[in-house]
Amino acid sequence: MFELIRSNQRRSAVLVALMALLLLALGYSVGEVTGGGGGPFGLVIAFLIWIVLTLVSYFAGDRIVLAISRAKKISR
């Protein structure tokens, strides 16, 4: 059972890292295209967006998924 928990934690960390790389590459690209030489500024904006998304998913991810699926509390 503990192997499955560790496997899930590794997979989650890989997904978060891949999301960071994707956002940073996108931010750099958009920064370069929109304002010649604005790549570093795009990286900073992308990094801030990644931080916000990561914190929201960590602290409120369960509630978001339950709300999307219209889950309801059951009673006896």
Instruction: Give the pLDDT confidence of 27-73 residue by residue, as tens digits.
Output: 999 999 987 788 899 999 999 999 999 999 999 999 999 999 999 88
Question: Hey, what are 68's tokens?
Answer: 């999307």
Cβ–Cβ under 8 Å, residues 39 and 31: yes
Backbone angles phi, psi at 50, to 5 degrees: -65, -40
Give the per-residue pLDDT at 73. 87
Backbone angles phi, psi at 38, to 5 degrees: -90, 15
Q: Give the rounded distance of the alpha carbon of 46 from its chain centre.
A: 11
Residue that has been written with the tokens 């956002």 in this structure: 23
Q: Distance between CA atoms of 27 and 50, rounded to whole angstroms?
A: 10
